[in-house]
């Protein structure tokens, strides 16, 4: 499945786009999506519907995880079928840290005692570092392969971690690990649904800004080139492998941070967060929104959670319809919701 | 439809529409209705609904959701029930790992949880809570009774087999607590495992004189089918979870002759039970399992307390639950200090029934007035 | 020692079932360049059809024939309606479209046949166990599964190396445009290969279904293992699928049995079971990583 070389002559997603009328439309849609995501839970909060505030937090975190994946798939052309590994690992960092903080036992007793912590800041930092290291190891092996091998190897590594978490008894194994008290931040009360939503919203906005920033940099241009034609990048004197690896690691870090927040939202982390269905769902969200579109994951997440809630209320077989919609999108609407809302990117 | 409407309007609704009758009681049931463990949840639900219908009360709304035996799904369903539907009472969970995911958080947020099945040791001991009641058993109970029974029957080298999850470790701990002697080996399997060839080979290679196993739901059926064809010839024992009416009918003649322990049997002789078994058969056209009896008892326990107080009056309702003022189909029933039952455990044998299908027959009492060993750790 | 041999047989039995799954997957990839996640659905479809028809007719063998046929027909339909549009699409689209098919198949089956497992028993003639030389007793049905797996492997070898269809398949693997130019009806060849893969998956599902249970989602764990098999064996290679399947089956089975008892020598049984099974569960993935570290295209890479 090599991509045709003629495409590289056209502007690509992530490269500074020329201004045109469709660009304004895109900008409006992007602002609209963010405003919708921010205002809906605010309204729900003042009407006293905590449930919908939490639902908005869920949309936000799923979107953030997909923003991470989009960096790998959409911008880097690395079809990772194992991003649940980072999502779940981030969740486990939050869960394990809270577990030890609750029990007053050290996470590691030797050679240096590392205590558990219920501070979100510490948890976020650890989640980002741990997920980055894991992605470095997995990426270093997986990126030696391409195409279908890459898809299967990322899947297999994620399954390996899934089965490990499933069988390792210390942190609940298959039963998962409840977080009895939500982790804390200084000054603000994280138990308040709206406050927690705003934290998640901040995370999403930052990851969107980071992705945008990366793709506008020289590094982003190199990554795009690596996706489209790595021989050409190599002739320019840049090795594609480290470029891809760094992008893969950043992608995993964003997804991992989303996972840490997701565990706190649910008060629970289990191997399900690591399962290949989760990887698949994250991919589905990226595709529904539009691959390689900055706001695609957000549009996809809103659509996905809406379908889950609305269709799920109508029929318990809602995934049947999700499957049909997904199939139609893949077969006939390649550019996803963002393609439909904001117009195609010019090169398309 | 209700859910759809509430989602669509949720953001626009004013508080005015939310004022339902203050008297109404909402019960959220999270139970396993799909996958290999589905018949457990179906029977709990059917038994529960039977009791609600027979009570004739129309001020009780029961919302039922399938947890698919997934802890994360159970957790999010419980959040939905508490935050969106604002239920007064939660119930229904079958598997202990799901209970551990849901119950501690739910009871701390002021919701009552009445367990119709799972009774993990943590919830009976160090993590017990005043809003948590178990109307079935603590996990160890039935296994303890089997340990005592096998000891008196003179088995000397039992081998133990259970899935590696809270109820599995509770099961073997319970068995060993009353068996007291040495066991040949303990084999832990994966939860939801479907192929037991490797375990059967290990059993074959051991010098065990009997096998005690705990494999609830579909796991039990798969295991027994494979056991039948393995040619290993030692007697099988277990708690009723591995030998409910549905499992032994699916397994067929291979189950005949095995012994199991239960806190209830459909041929148990008391008035409440006769009425229950008859009504259940009439309503659903099948013989109830112990799970159905637990669902029925759970609903009757809740109903007995609702007669005295509304759950909004937490202290009064809790006190009413503690009294356990209802006719349990298992005969005598009372709560210990940790809100877990103190009850007799019976022995049943699987025999060939009148229709040629295997069925359970009551043999006798294994242990009287069993109380879980964790109640001393409970500070309430 | 008999324990070890019995476990070897168990590993072999798992391996032959994996081969039935993996051979279809690898053939579809080799000939059409398609990565098909929905292959596990054919496994489930075959098992359901077998269970339902067996229950209706009272004969396992009629059910089995029906199961294989239904799986093949469903496979052919899926190829004609959906998969055919995916051959020239990127792998990402293939993954997502076939992931969508999994959702449709699983939820559709749940809708039609309910969420409870169906129970299918092996036929009476194949029940019970036999004494093998060396004092080992082994269930007849599991021996039959091994035999069927070997028979399919031999059959595939002859089909591919000796028949006209096999020649076209080999031609398709090495050069897709070429066989079109030679006047072979590629569309029909593709449908045929896809249906054949589905039939093999259906056969595997039916045979294992009788041993375990028939339920929604039963194909997914097997699918993941089959992916590991073909990655180890080399994607597109039937020979690789065979060796990979046996290797994965044996390593997985032996690991699950002997690692917990190994750790049991210095830990409590519950801990040993936890640690042992955690490492056992990772074993085949570690094996895969090691093999790929030395041979990035698998043991028997069919083509680049």
Touching C: which chains, 3+ CB pairs < 8 A?
A, B
Closest-approach residue (CA) in chain B for A270? B72
d(CA B100, CA B123) in angstroms, rounded, equals 8
Distance from CA of C117 to the nearest CA of B (A): 6
pLDDT of residue A19: 44
Print the domain residue range for C125: 13-218
Residue A23: per-residue pLDDT: 60
Q: What are phi and psi of C260, to 5 degrees?
A: -60, -40
Are residues A149 and C297, on separate chains, in Cβ contact within 8 Å? Answer: yes
Distance of residue A270 Cα from the nearest chain B Cα, in angstroms: 7
Q: What is the mean pLDDT of chain B?
A: 89
> Would residue C159 count as lying in a domain?
yes
Structure letter (DSSP) for residue B355: T
- Nearest chain C residue to A155 by CA distance is C224
**Where is pLDDT greater, at C15 or A8?**
C15
Distance from CA of C103 to the nearest CA of A (A): 5
- Looking at residues A145-153, what average pLDDT do you find? 85
Any idea what DSSP says for residue A74?
I
Measured between CA atoms, how close is C191 to chain B, in angstroms?
Answer: 33
For residue C165, is it within any domain? yes
Q: Is the pLDDT of residue A41 over 80?
A: yes
Give a yes or no: residue C156 inside a domain.
yes
Is the residue at A53 inside a domain?
A: yes
DSSP for C205-239, written as a single string? HHHHHHHS-B-TTTHHHHHHHHHHHHHHH-TT-HH
Segment B138-196, tens digit of pLDDT: 999 999 999 999 999 999 999 999 988 778 888 999 999 999 889 998 888 887 788 89
Closest Cβ opposite residue B197 in set C2, C142, C216: C142
Nearest to B226 among C110, C211, C269 (CB): C211
Q: For testing the chain C interface, which of A163, A276, A277, A284 should be mutated: the one with the most C CBs within 10 Å?
A: A163
Query: What's the number of domains chain C is made of?
Result: 1
Distance from C-alpha of A247 to C-alpha of B120, rounded to nearest angstrom: 45
Domain tally, chain A = 1
For chain C, how are helix, strand and coil distributed in percent, rounded to 5?
Answer: 75, 5, 20
Q: How many CB atoms lie within 10 A of CB A42?
A: 15
pLDDT band (50, 70, 90) for residue A10:
very low
Give the CA distances from residue A197 to residues A194, A265, B106, B232, B237, in Å, rounded to whole numbers and listed in that order.
Answer: 5, 9, 21, 58, 52
Average pLDDT, chain A: 86
Has residue A4 been placed in a domain? no
Across the interface, of C103, C274, C289, the residue whose CB is closest to A322 is C103
Within 272-301 of C, beta carbons closer than 8 Å to B belong to 273-274, 277
Residues belonging to chain A with any Cβ–Cβ distance to chain B shorter than 8 Å: 40, 43-44, 47-52, 54, 166-167, 169, 172-176, 178, 180, 266-268, 270, 272-273, 309-310, 312-314, 316
pLDDT at A4 over 70: no
Three-state SS for A14? coil
Query: In chain A, what residues touch B15 (CB-CB under 8 Å)?
Result: 47-48
Complex-level ipTM:
0.86
Look over chain C and give the mean of its residue pLDDT values, rounded to a whole number: 88
How many beta carbons lie within 10 A of that of residue C189, not counting itself?
19
Mean pLDDT, residues A231-256: 92
Note which residues in 230-289 of chain C have CB less than 8 A from chain A.
230-231, 235, 270-271, 274-275, 277-278, 280-282, 285-286, 288-289
Q: Is residue A7 part of a domain?
A: no
Q: Do B164 and A173 touch (CB under 8 A)?
A: yes
Minimum-distance CB partner of C274 among A81, A173, A291? A173
Contact criterion met (CB below 8 Å) for C30 and C237: yes
> Nearest CA to CA, how far is C201 from chain A (Å)?
19
Domain of A326, in residue numbers = 22-342
DSSP A7: G
Is residue A2 situated within a structural domain? no
Closest CA to B350 of B339, B361, B364, B342: B361
In a domain, C241, yes or no: no
Q: What is the pLDDT of residue B2?
A: 43
Residue A345's pLDDT is what? Answer: 59
Looking at CA atoms only, how far is residue C249 from chain A in angstroms? 16
Angle between helices A84-103 and A276-289 (to 10 degrees): 120
Q: How far apart are CA B132 and CA C118, in angstroms?
A: 35
Tell me what the mean pLDDT of segment C52-60 comes to: 94
Q: What DSSP letter does each residue of C78-103 carry, written as one string?
A: HHHHTGGGGTTS-HHHHHHHHHHHHH
Q: What is the DSSP string of B67-104?
A: -TT-HHHHHHHHHHIIIII--SEEE---SHHHHHHHHH
Q: Is residue A54 part of a domain?
A: yes
C97 falls within a domain: yes
**Nearest residue of C to residue B189 by CA position?**
C273
- Name chain B contacts of C277, Cβ cutoff 8 Å: 164, 188, 190
Residue C5 resides in a domain? no
Determine how β-strand B185-189 pairs with β-strand B210-213: unpaired
For residue A339, is pLDDT > 80?
no
Q: Is residue A13 part of a domain?
A: no
- Residue A327 is assigned to a structural domain of this protein: yes
Task: Write the pLDDT tens digit of every residue in A261-273.
Answer: 999 998 889 898 9
Among chain B residues, CA nearest to A180: B105
Indicate whether B261 pLDDT > 50: yes
Q: Is the pLDDT of residue C304 over 70?
A: no
Q: What is the model's pLDDT at position A22?
A: 53
Domains and CATH numbers, chain B: 23-137+269-339 (3.40.50.2300), 140-262+345-376 (3.40.50.2300)
Q: Which chain A residues are closer than 8 Å to C90 by Cβ?
A: 1, 3, 79
């Amino acid at each position: 499945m090599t991509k045709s070389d003629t495409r590289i002559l056209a502007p690509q997603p992530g490269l500074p786009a020329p201004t045109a009328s469709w660009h304004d439309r895109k900008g409006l849609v992007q602002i609209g999506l963010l405003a919708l995501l921010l205002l809906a839970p605010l309204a729900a909060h003042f009407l006293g519907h905590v449930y919908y505030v939490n639902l908005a937090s869920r949309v936000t975190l799923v979107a953030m995880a997909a923003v991470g994946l989009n960096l790998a798939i959409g911008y880097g052309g690395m079809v990772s079928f194992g991003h649940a590994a980072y999502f779940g690992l981030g969740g486990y960092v939050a869960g394990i840290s809270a577990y030890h903080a609750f029990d007053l036992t050290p996470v590691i007793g030797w050679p240096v005692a590392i205590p558990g912590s219920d501070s979100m800041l510490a948890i976020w930092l650890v989640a980002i570092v741990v997920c980055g290291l894991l992605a470095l190891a997995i990426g270093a092996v997986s990126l030696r392969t391409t195409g279908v091998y890459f898809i299967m190897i990322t899947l297999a590594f994620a399954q390996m971690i899934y089965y490990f978490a499933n069988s390792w008894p210390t942190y609940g194994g298959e039963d998962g690990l409840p977080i009895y008290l939500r982790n804390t931040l200084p000054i603000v009360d994280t138990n308040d649904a709206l406050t927690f939503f705003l934290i998640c919203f901040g995370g999403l906005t930052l990851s969107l800004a980071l992705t945008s920033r990366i793709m506008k940099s020289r590094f982003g241009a190199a990554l795009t080139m690596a996706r489209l034609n790595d021989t050409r990048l190599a002739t320019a004197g840049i090795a594609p492998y480290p470029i891809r690896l760094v992008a893969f690691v950043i992608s995993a870090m964003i997804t991992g941070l989303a996972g840490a927040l997701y565990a706190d939202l649910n008060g629970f982390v289990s191997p399900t967060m690591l399962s290949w269905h989760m990887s698949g769902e994250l991919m589905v969200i990226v595709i529904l929104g539009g691959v390689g579109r900055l706001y695609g994951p957000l549009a996809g997440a809103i659509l996905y959670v809406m379908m889950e809630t609305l269709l799920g209320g109508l029929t318990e077989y809602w995934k049947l319809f999700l499957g049909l919609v997904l199939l139609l999108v893949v077969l006939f609407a390649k550019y996803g919701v963002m393609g439909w809302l904001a117009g195609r990117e010019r090169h398309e | 439809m209700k859910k759809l409407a509430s989602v669509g309007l949720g953001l626009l609704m004013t508080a005015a529409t939310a004022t339902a009758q203050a008297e109404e009681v909402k019960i959220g049931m999270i139970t396993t209705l799909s996958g290999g463990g589905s018949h457990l949840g179906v029977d709990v639900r059917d038994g529960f609904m039977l009791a609600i219908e027979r009570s004739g009360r129309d001020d009780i709304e029961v919302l039922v959701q399938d947890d698919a035996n997934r802890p994360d799904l159970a957790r999010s369903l419980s959040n939905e029930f508490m935050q969106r539907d604002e239920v007064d009472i939660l119930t229904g969970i079958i598997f202990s790992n799901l209970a551990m995911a849901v119950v501690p958080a739910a009871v701390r947020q002021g919701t009552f949880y009445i367990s119709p099945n799972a009774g993990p040791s943590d919830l009976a001991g160090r993590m017990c809570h005043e809003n948590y009641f178990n109307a079935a058993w603590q996990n160890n109970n039935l296994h303890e009774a089997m340990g005592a029974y096998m000891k008196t029957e003179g088995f000397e080298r039992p081998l133990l087999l259970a899935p590696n999850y809270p109820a599995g470790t509770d099961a073997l701990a319970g068995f060993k607590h009353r068996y007291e002697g040495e066991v040949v080996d303990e084999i832990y399997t994966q939860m939801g495992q479907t192929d037991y060839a490797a375990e059967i080979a290990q059993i074959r290679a051991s010098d065990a004189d009997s096998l005690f196993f705990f494999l609830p739901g579909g796991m039990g059926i798969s295991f027994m089918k494979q056991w039948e064809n393995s040619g290993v010839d030692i007697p099988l024992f277990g708690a009723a979870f591995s030998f409910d009416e549905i499992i032994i009918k699916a397994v067929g003649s291979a189950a005949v002759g095995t012994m199991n322990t239960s806190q209830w049997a459909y041929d148990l002789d008391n008035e409440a039970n006769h009425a229950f078994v008859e009504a259940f058969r009439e309503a659903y056209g099948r013989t109830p399992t112990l799970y159905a009896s637990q669902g029925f008892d759970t609903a009757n326990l809740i109903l007995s307390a609702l007669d005295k107080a509304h759950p909004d009056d937490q202290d009064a309702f809790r006190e009413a639950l503690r009294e356990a003022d209802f006719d349990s189909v298992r005969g005598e029933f009372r709560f210990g200090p940790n809100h877990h039952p103190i009850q007799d455990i019976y022995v049943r044998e699987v025999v060939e029934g009148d229709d040629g299908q295997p069925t359970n027959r009551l043999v006798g009492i294994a242990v009287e007035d069993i109380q879980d060993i964790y109640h001393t750790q409970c500070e309430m | 020692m008999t324990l070890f041999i019995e476990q070897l047989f168990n590993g072999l039995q798992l391996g032959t079932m994996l081969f039935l799954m993996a051979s279809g997957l690898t053939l579809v990839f080799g000939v059409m360049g398609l990565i098909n996640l929905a292959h596990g659905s054919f496994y489930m479809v075959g098992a359901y059809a077998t269970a339902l028809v067996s229950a209706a007719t009272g004969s396992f063998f009629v059910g089995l024939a029906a199961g294989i046929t239904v799986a093949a027909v469903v496979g052919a339909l899926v190829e004609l309606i959906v998969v055919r549009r995916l051959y020239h699409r990127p792998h990402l689209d293939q993954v997502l479209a076939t992931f969508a098919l999994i959702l449709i198949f699983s939820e559709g089956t749940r809708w039609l046949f309910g969420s409870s497992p169906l129970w299918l028993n092996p036929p009476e003639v194949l029940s019970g166990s036999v004494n093998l030389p060396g004092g080992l007793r082994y269930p007849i049905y599991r021996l039959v599964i091994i035999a069927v797996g070997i028979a399919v492997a031999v059959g595939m070898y002859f089909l591919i190396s000796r028949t006209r269809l096999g020649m076209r398949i080999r031609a398709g693997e090495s050069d897709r445009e070429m066989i079109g130019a030679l006047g072979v009806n590629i569309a029909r060849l593709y449908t045929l290969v896809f249906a054949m893969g589905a039939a093999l998956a259906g056969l595997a599902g039916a045979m294992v279904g009788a041993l375990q249970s028939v339920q929604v989602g039963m194909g997914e764990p097997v699918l993941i293992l089959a992916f590991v098999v073909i990655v180890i064996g080399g994607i597109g290679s039937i020979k690789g699928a065979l060796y990979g399947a046996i290797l994965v089956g044996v390593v997985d089975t032996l690991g699950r049995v002997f690692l917990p008892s190994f750790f049991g020598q210095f830990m409590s049984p519950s801990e040993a079971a936890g640690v042992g099974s955690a490492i056992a569960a990772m074993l085949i993935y570690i094996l895969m990583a090691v093999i790929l570290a030395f041979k990035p295209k698998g043991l028997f890479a069919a083509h680049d």
